[in-house]
Chains A and B, each alone.
Chain A
């Protein structure tokens, strides 16, 4: 597609339930990032994919968070046993990488998924 897309746009869940958030990067972009934006923490990095591998998972806040990327395209962020402190906007970004047109390092963001844990 023309831009990064994310689904759902909004998700309300009950504490303790699992949720899956989806990201479709810009076609051909090799790098994909997940960030989250919350009132107390600002915009923070979660995980980075290059192709299907994740060389940097250091931002994931706990082992309840996991992510995968298949076919070098779509990524899914899964939060298990959600807690109220997981409430935030989850943002996905993609970057062309060296196989794309310069500037290779510019990141483009999707519209986000607003997660509310009751």
Chain B
């Protein structure tokens, strides 16, 4: 099946710093989503981005489908950005079915 790799696994920032999280995937995708898992375990949708670039406030994401990677940018980080960020993809081969998740990036933003 499709493989999803996220980097870095852990990231510690000072408040106000910028960061880039990366997601590599091994096959063509029909769907790519970025999630933030908050301290209560809820998965919050950040972006639905199978290709192209999107921005939402301090967050933006870019997916280059032909090169099989996606990037999540966090600018001017805040302590509330702390948590685990997951990339998840739906393989073109199994369209309509499961999301395959990466292992996540644990982000800690210190005041």
Contacts and interface: CB of A to CB of B under 8 A. Distances in A.
B97 A105 contact: no
B90 A109 contact: no
A55 B97 contact: yes
B28 interface: no
B52 interface: no
B97 A42 contact: no
Contacts of B42: 109, 111-112
Interface in A1-54: 31, 33, 35, 37, 42-45, 48, 50
A106 B48 contact: yes
Contact of A43 (B45, B50, B86): B86
Contacts of A43: 86, 88, 101
A21 B98 CA distance: 20
A107 B97 CA distance: 11
A24 to B, nearest CB: 16
